[in-house]
C-alpha cells in the first residue's frame, strides 16, 4: 500500500487522497521530528519567562490578556479542547476526518507550531490505527481555522469523546487502549496548535478536485453520446476552430469529444449534402466551451491547493529564530473562495447535461427518437421522470452555487470579527459534486438508450463500449423497469473510473 512520508515539506494532492480514501499509512521523517523538538525548546523557554506569550502562558481569543499561572496551564489546554469541541449535527464522512488529521499532522511536523515530538507521534499513531474521531458537521466558521472539527480530533487524542474504528462506534478511551496508544496530556501551546488550522476545508477541497477531474471527463463522454444520439455534428469540435479561442480546458474537452465520436456510423449517416440542419443547439455545440471553462477553474484551484499543501497554518507560530508571533494565516479565505468558485461550474455543467437529456426525450426535437425513449409510449413513460430528477438536482445545484464566503458572522466577543465560512463552502461543494454525479448518470443512461434506438446504425467504437458496459449493469427496456436502480448503476459505473 502507498505510504506517505511526513518530512515537514509539502504533501501532494495524491498523498492526501491516498491517506483519506485509500487508508495509506503515514511515516514521520527523522528530520521533521528534530525540527519539532527544536521549536518545542523555544516554547518551553517562553513558558518559564515572566513576560506572557499568547497561547503559551495566556488565555485565548477574547481572553488573550489573561496570564495563566504555570500550575494551571495543562488544565488550560485541556479546557480549550473540551470547550471548543462544541460541534453539532451528523458526523462528517470518515475520509474528511482522515484528511484533516493528515493535514494537521503535516503542519505540526513543520516545526512551526511548538508541539512536542510525542504529540506528533500520537496523532500519526491514531491515523495509522484507523481510529476516526467523530466530527460533527456544524461548528466551524473557517476562522480561526476549523476549530470545532479539529477539537473533536484533539479530544480523541486525549482519550475523550467518541470514535469509529474497525467499523465500530466506541469511546476514544476504549479505542486507544485497544490499539495500545497512550492518551495525550497536553502541554503549553499544544491545544491551540492542534486546532488552529484550515485542514478540514483544505482536505475537502483536495478530494473535490480529484472527483471533478473524473466527472469532467464523464461530462465530455455523456455530451459526445448525446451529440451522437441527437444526430449532431462533430465538425464544431475541430481543432482549428478551438485554436481560435485558445483556452487549454476547451481544447482538452473538444479533443476528447472528437476522439469519442471517431468512427461513428450514426454521425457519418447525416454528414452529406442532404442534411438540412445548419447548427446544433448550444447544449451540444458549446459543450467544450462550458466543460473547458470548468476544467480551467479546476486547474486554477489546484494551484491554490498546492500552495496550501506547502503552508504551515497556526497562530501563534514558532519561527526558526525562536520568535513566537501572532499572524492571520489561519483565515480561510484563500481556500473558501476556490471552494465557492468550483460550485459554479459544477452547477453549470449539470445544467447543460440536463438540457441535452431533455432534448433526447422530446419527440419534436430528437430527430426520430420515440417520446421519452419509451419502449411503448403511453404505457411506458420511459425516461420522463428521470429528467425530473435531473431538473430537481440542477435547481438545488444553482442554490448551492451561491457563495458561502461572502458571508461573515462575528464571534468571540468581536475578536474574530470577520470569518471565512470556508467549512460551509466545502460542505456544500461535496453535496454539489454528488448532485453532478447523478445528473451525469441520468444523461449517460438516456444517451445509451437513445443510441440503441438508432440501430441498425452503429455508434462510435468508444461510445459503443460504454453502452455495452452499461448494458451489463441494467436490464433491457420495458414498461416494468425500475429506473432508480438503473440510475444507481450508472452512478456506480461513473465512480468506478472505467469510462473512457
Active site members: 54
Give the pairing of strands 25-28 and 88-91. Answer: unpaired
Q: What is the CA radius of gyration of the chain?
A: 27
249 in Cβ contact with 302 (< 8 Å): no
Please tell me the distance from the alpha carbon of residue 302 to that of residue 306, in angstroms, as a whole number.
Answer: 6
Q: Which three cell numbers stand for residue 337?
A: 473562495
Residues in the chain: 500
- For residues 119 and 108, give the distance between their C-alpha atoms in angstroms, rounded to a whole number: 9
Q: Angle, to 10 degrees, between the axis of helix 94-108 and the axis of helix 117-128?
A: 160
Distance in angstroms (rounded) separating the CA atoms of residues 171 and 168? 10
Please, which residues have CB within 8 angstroms of residue 417's CB and are 6 or more apart in sequence? 410
Angle between helices 248-261 and 287-308 in degrees, nearest 10:
130
Say if residues 315 and 326 touch (Cβ distance below 8 Å): yes
Peptide bond into 144 cis (omega under 30): yes
Taken in order 452, 453, 455, 459, the sign of the CA dihedral is negative
d(CA 417, CA 433): 31
Rounded to whole angstroms, the Cα distance separating 344 from 333 reads: 17
CA-to-CA distance for 490 and 473, rounded, in angstroms?
8
Spatial distance between the Cα atoms of 124 and 141, rounded to a whole number of angstroms: 26
Beta bridge partners of 28: 6
Nearest to 74 by CA among 24, 116, 110, 126: 116
Q: Is 89 exposed, middle or buried (0-12, 13-18, 19+ CB in 10 A)?
A: exposed
The DSSP call for residue 5 is: E
By C-alpha distance, which of 220, 317, 231 is closest to 274?
A: 231
The greatest distance separating any two alpha carbons of the chain, rounded to the nearest whole angstrom, comes to 91
Cα distance between residue 372 and residue 384, in whole Å: 5
Nearest Cα neighbor of 259 from 237, 286, 289 is 237
* Angstrom distance (rounded) from CA 140 to CA 87: 8
The number of CA neighbours under 13 Å toward the Cβ of 144 is 22
Amino acid at each position: 500500500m502507498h505510504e506517505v512520508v511526513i518530512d515537514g515539506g509539502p504533501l501532494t494532492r495524491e498523498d492526501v487522497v491516498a491517506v483519506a480514501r485509500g487508508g495509506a499509512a503515514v511515516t514521520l521523517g527523522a528530520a521533521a521530528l528534530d525540527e519539532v523538538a527544536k521549536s518545542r525548546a523555544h516554547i518551553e523557554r517562553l513558558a518559564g519567562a515572566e513576560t506572557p506569550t499568547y497561547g503559551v502562558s495566556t488565555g485565548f481569543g477574547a481572553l488573550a490578556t489573561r496570564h495563566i499561572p504555570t500550575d494551571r496551564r495543562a488544565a488550560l489546554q485541556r479546557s480549550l479542547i473540551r470547550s471548543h469541541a462544541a460541534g453539532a449535527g451528523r458526523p462528517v464522512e470518515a475520509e474528511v476526518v482522515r484528511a484533516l488529521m493528515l493535514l494537521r499532522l503535516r503542519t505540526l511536523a513543520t516545526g512551526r507550531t511548538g508541539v512536542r515530538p510525542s504529540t506528533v507521534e500520537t496523532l500519526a499513531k491514531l491515523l495509522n490505527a484507523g481510529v476516526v474521531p467523530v466530527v460533527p458537521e456544524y461548528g466551524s466558521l473557517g476562522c480561526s481555522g476549523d476549530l470545532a472539527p479539529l477539537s473533536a480530533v484533539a479530544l480523541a487524542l486525549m482519550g475523550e469523546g467518541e470514535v469509529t474504528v474497525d467499523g465500530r462506534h466506541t469511546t476514544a478511551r476504549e479505542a486507544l487502549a485497544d490499539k495500545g496508544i497512550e492518551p495525550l496530556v497536553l502541554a503549553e501551546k499544544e491545544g491551540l496548535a492542534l486546532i488552529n488550522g484550515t485542514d478540514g476545508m483544505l482536505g475537502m477541497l483536495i478530494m473535490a478536485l480529484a472527483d471533478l477531474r473524473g466527472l469532467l471527463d464523464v461530462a465530455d463522454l455523456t455530451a459526445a453520446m448525446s451529440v451522437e444520439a441527437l444526430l449532431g455534428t462533430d465538425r464544431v469540435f475541430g481543432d482549428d476552430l478551438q485554436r481560435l479561442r485558445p483556452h487549454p480546458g476547451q481544447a482538452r474537452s473538444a479533443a476528447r469529444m472528437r476522439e469519442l465520436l471517431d468512427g461513428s456510423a450514426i454521425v457519418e449517416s447525416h454528414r452529406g449534402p442532404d442534411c438540412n440542419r445548419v447548427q446544433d443547439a448550444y447544449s451540444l455545440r458549446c459543450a467544450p466551451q462550458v466543460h473547458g471553462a470548468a476544467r480551467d477553474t479546476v486547474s486554477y484551484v489546484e494551484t491554490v491547493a498546492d500552495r496550501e499543501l506547502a503552508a504551515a497554518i497556526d497562530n501563534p507560530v514558532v519561527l526558526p529564530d525562536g520568535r513566537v508571533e501572532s499572524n492571520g494565516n489561519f483565515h480561510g479565505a484563500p481556500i473558501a473562495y476556490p471552494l465557492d468558485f468550483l460550485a459554479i461550474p459544477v452547477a453549470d455543467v449539470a445544467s447543460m447535461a440536463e438540457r441535452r437529456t431533455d432534448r433526447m426525450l422530446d419527440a419534436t426535437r430528437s430527430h426520430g427518437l420515440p417520446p421519452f425513449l419509451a419502449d411503448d409510449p403511453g404505457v411506458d413513460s420511459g425516461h420522463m421522470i428521470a429528467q425530473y430528477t435531473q431538473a430537481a438536482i440542477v435547481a438545488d445545484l444553482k442554490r448551492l452555487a451561491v457563495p458561502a464566503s461572502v458571508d461573515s458572522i462575528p464571534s468571540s466577543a468581536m475578536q474574530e470579527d470577520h470569518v471565512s465560512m470556508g467549512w460551509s463552502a466545502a460542505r456544500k461543494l461535496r453535496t454539489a459534486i454528488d448532485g453532478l454525479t447523478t445528473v451525469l448518470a441520468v444523461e449517460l443512461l438516456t444517451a445509451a438508450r437513445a443510441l440503441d434506438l438508432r440501430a441498425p446504425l452503429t455508434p462510435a467504437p468508444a461510445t459503443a463500449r460504454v453502452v455495452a458496459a452499461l448494458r451489463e449493469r441494467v436490464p433491457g427496456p420495458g414498461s416494468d423497469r425500475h429506473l432508480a436502480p438503473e440510475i444507481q448503476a450508472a452512478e456506480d459505473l461513473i465512480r468506478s473510473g472505467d469510462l473512457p
